[in-house]
Structure 1
Amino acid sequence: MLLELAGIDKQVGADTWLYPLNLTLQESAVTILLGATRAGKTSLMRIMAGLDTPTTGRVLVDGQDVTGVPVRRRNIAMVYQQFINYPSMTVADNIASPLRLSGQRDVLPRVREIARTLHIEEFLDRLPAELSGGQQQRVALARALAKDAPLMLLDEPLVNLDYKLREDLREELGDMFSQGRSTVVYATTEPAEALLLGGYTAVLDRGELLQYGPTIDVFQRPNSMRVARAFSDPPMNFIEARADGAALHCQGMGPVPLSGSNLPSGAVTLGLRAADLSLQHQGGDCLISGQVQLAEISGSATYVHAQTPVGNLIAQVPGVSHHQLGDAITLHFSSRQAYVFGPDESLLRAPQMEARHGSY
């Protein structure tokens, strides 16, 4: 299915939920809607589904205007954060319901295949009320996958699951989506989820569409500081600087040489991802001295918050790293990893880097 949004916006009373935007989704591919809560992701998906209509603009499916066509007359599947299942049906019957509605008879093999993928095969004979919230969410997701609709809309479908299961399902869903049987729209607040699912990403912020393109391209070349903030977790570090030819000068640290660059002289902003700041000397790199404010251990990484002469910075350090409040540290980074943004916050320079799934 080719889905196009042409000049749509959404006004609710005096509030603007979506600013005018144009978006053509890649056919038979996954598009990630990435943004914080209240960025406009759900509002956009409701318009795509036909649950809501834009204030102005058109929704086109395969070139046909379907703006006023209700959801019941569209062949779509949708999963919300708040799962919806048929309470009187078993898990197996919930998953099988769209298959039977389409006239299929021997549906059990397909039901078992999807249930196995989502780790709910052992619950097929139970009613939804007998399951945990995360298990019920997987049933709703399984029913949507079983429908095999040409357009599938998934609004943060893994948000209610535990960390390990989320990690496993992200990879399995990515494999399923890569088969290209449906045009998939997947909303998330997590940059890691966008990187793992791949495909294309549309970055939203406070109702505005900021950038759309292949996920890894948007990650590596955010066109503005707003996109860089949205596509970084923890947030990208920003440092005030002045450009002078092929170098940046920041008060409180040495110059940052940018070989091959010829930036216009004047005020700019240096951007550094937390994963590109190290506590180890790397040779030929740039240094920032500081003091530890906080060290957060999270999974396989430690987030070190440091007070420095150039502002408060966050470093994402692999493994478990123990620090005391007030410890003196030195942050290292390579100038090759530096982003530079202009006075209008637009991107002037991006590092040349390999795709690094799991690093933000």
Structure 2
Amino acid sequence: MTGLEARGLTSVVDDVVHLKDIRLVFPKGQITTVIGRTLAGKTSLLRGIAGLLERLDGELALDGHDLSARPAWRRNVAMVYQQFINYPHLNVEDNVAFPLRRHRMPADEIRRRVDEALDRVGLLQYRQRKPSELSGGQQQRVALARALSRDVDILLLDEPLVNLDYKLREQLREEFRGLLKSRRDTVVIYTTTDPEEAMLISDQLVVMHEGQVLQAGRPEEIFEQPASATVAGIISDPPMSFLDATLKGDHLDLAGGVRLPAPPHVAVLAPGTYRLGIRAGDLSLGGATVAGVVNFREVTGSETALYLDTACGELTLQTEGVQALSPGARVSVGVPAERLYVFAADSGALMAAPAFIQR
């Protein structure tokens, strides 16, 4: 196997579990994105791979060779953190060149690599400036350029775009996939809390929660077939809405006297209580299923997300355009039963997915 394999990585510090039995394969030449909420264990996983965790059980193998016993300085790893780390007394060019000079690389090769890395992150014209003369976003790009300039076995990126302004983040997000995919001999692991970013960048997607891997696979497979309600919530933005319901024959009974027909993918389940999930984009404004009251409105460019109180529970609806609906406004909402996910009421495990995405 070419790539990195984690075998049972576990980290417990002062009875707090940071990682629990992580078993994953990170192929070379692919981008593995780890997504999860804050404190999911994403940074702990990267630090463990880099050799920076004080306590870590389990094994790491790179191309079949044991990596676990190597100290951090012998692992040939580059890491970009959420908070940019630069040398304040060096200019941009020297910050990027620093690790290359430490490896006694020829001057012309250093110049070529620095120029290429700075060009990729849009900082060529700032090469003589000190970090203190740059914006926060520009300083993060210096740290990114320093990592990209090196030939490393493993490239770790811990939410590298989180401190950039919105416009630059969108621009770099579009460029990142091609930029990182060009590193065919490198294991690339990228962390984020942003579902859109994860779907756009990933070849392999790993969903983490409370130090554990909940699901791993191709991004579209996880999006279409989330293993649990927790996974569905993590990879949905705006968040998936969840409603309690009872399946009785050919219909679903929800709170507030709301009744929905049971579509074929739901009707095959045994009668009982379930948890329904529906994505914000699948709800329709002006539908006839349930009445709601606007709690909060969030406008994101060309779309509006509405957070609603309804008789059957809280719903998040996303619609195109800017909707001029203030808190307290009354609306009607359409809930298409054929687009409902069904999860077990107790464990949250996926029981049935919408028929329109089944392969």
Of 173, 178, 195, 1:175 maps to 178
How far residue 80 of structure 1 moved from its aligned partner, in angstroms, is: 0.7
1:160 matches 2:166: no
Q: Distance in 2 between matches of 1:103 and 1:324?
A: 61
SS at match of 1:106: helix
Map 1:52-71 → 2, pairs under 5 A: 52=53, 54-71=55-72
Aligned counterparts of 2:180 and 2:40: Cα–Cα separation in 1: 24
Q: Is the 8 A contact 2:13 2:55 kept in 1?
A: no
Aligned to 1:242: 246
Q: 1:267 to 1:96 in 2, by over 3 A?
A: same
Q: Distance in 1 between matches of 2:32 and 2:249?
A: 38
1:18–1:129 distance in 2 versus 1, CA, 3 Å = same
Cα separation, 2, equivalents of 1:11 and 1:327: 48
Mapped to 1, the partners of 2:189 and 2:144 lie a distance apart of 13
1:216-265 per-residue CA deviation (whole Å, 9 max, x = no partner) reads 21111110011111112222100111224564332332323313551121
Match of 1:13 in 2: 14
Distance in 1 separating the partners of 2:147 and 2:355: 39
Corresponding residue of 1:293: 295
Q: Which residue of 2 aligns with 1:205?
A: 209
CA distance change for structure 1 residues 260 and 47 in 2, over 3 Å: closer, same or farther? closer
**In the alignment, which residue of structure 1 is the partner of 2:37?**
36
Q: Which runs of 5+ in 1 are unaligned?
A: 355-360
Match of residue 131 from structure 2: 128
> Match of 2:75?
74
Counterpart of 2:84 in 1: which secondary structure? coil
- Aligned-pair CA distance for 1:53: 5.3
Cα gap change, 1:241/1:104 in structure 2, threshold over 3 Å: closer, same or farther?
farther
Cα deviation code 1:251-287 (max 9, x no counterpart): 3323233135511211111100112112145xxxx72
Residue 55 of structure 1 deviates from its aligned partner by: 3.8
Contact 2:274 2:342 in 1 (8 A): yes
Deviations 1:127-164 (A, max 9, x none): 22221221111000011011131210001111110011
Deviations 1:277-304 (A, max 9, x none): 12145xxxx7222122222223322121
Identify the residue that residue 307 of structure 2 maps to in structure 1. 305
- Tell whether the 8 Å contact from 2:8 to 2:20 is kept in structure 1 after alignment: no
Q: Which residue of 1 aligns with 2:274?
A: 268
Q: CA deviation at 1:46?
A: 0.6
Letter of the structure 2 residue corresponding to residue 131 of structure 1: L
In 2, distance between residues paired with 1:15 and 1:203? 20
Give the equivalent residue in structure 2 for 1:258.
Answer: 263
Deviates more, 1:242-251 or 1:302-311: 242-251
Letter in 2 for 1:194: A
Please say if 1:222 is aligned against 2:226.
yes
Aligned residues with identical type, % of pairs: 41
**Partner of 1:287: helix, strand, or coil?**
strand
Query: Residues 49, 242 of structure 1: CA spacing in aligned structure 2 closer, same or farther, 3 A cutoff?
Result: same
Q: TM-score, normalised by structure 2?
A: 0.91
Q: Distance in 2 between matches of 1:350 and 1:229?
A: 14
**Secondary structure in 2 matching 1:119:** coil
CA shift at 1:11, angstroms?
A: 0.8
Q: Does 1:326 align with 2:335?
A: no
> Residue 96 of structure 1 aligns with which residue?
97
1:255 aligns to what SS in structure 2? Answer: strand
- Aligned counterparts of 1:335 and 1:192: Cα–Cα separation in 2: 25
Whether the 8 Å CA contact 2:228–2:350 is kept in 1: the answer is yes
The farther-off stretch of 186-195 and 79-88 is: 79-88
- 1:41 shift after superposition: 0.7
Tell me, in whole angstroms, the C-alpha distance in 2 between the residues paired with 1:198 and 1:74.
24
Aligned 8 A contact 1:287 1:333 in 2:
yes
Matched to 1:191, the amino acid is P
Say which SS state the counterpart of residue 158 (structure 1) adopts. Answer: coil
Q: Count the aligned residue pairs.
A: 351
User: Which secondary structure does the structure 1 equivalent of 2:145 belong to?
Assistant: helix
Which stretch of structure 1 is more off in the superposition, 85-94 or 191-200? Answer: 85-94
| d(CA) in 2 for partners of 1:148, 1:302 | 43
The Cα shift of 1:180 comes to 4.5
- Indicate conservation of the 8 Å contact 1:53/1:68, yes or no: no
Q: In 1, are the aligned partners of 2:207 and 2:215 still within 8 Å (CA)?
A: yes
How far, CA to CA, are the matches of 1:109 and 1:59 in structure 2? 33
Q: 1:137 aligns with which of 134, 137, 140?
A: 140
- Distance between the aligned counterparts of 1:40 and 1:288, measured in 2? 39
How far apart are 1:185 and its partner, in Å?
0.7
Q: Tell me, which stretches of 5 or more residues in structure 2 are unaligned?
A: none
Distance (whole Å) between structure 1 residues aligned to residue 35 and residue 281 of structure 2: 20
Q: CA RMSD in A?
A: 2.1
Q: Which residue of 2 aligns with 1:358?
A: none
Evaluate the alpha carbon distance shift between residue 287 and residue 28 of structure 1 in structure 2; reply closer, same or farther with a 3 A threshold.
same
Secondary structure, counterpart of 1:143 in structure 2: helix
- Comparing 257-266 and 216-225, the one that deviates more: 257-266
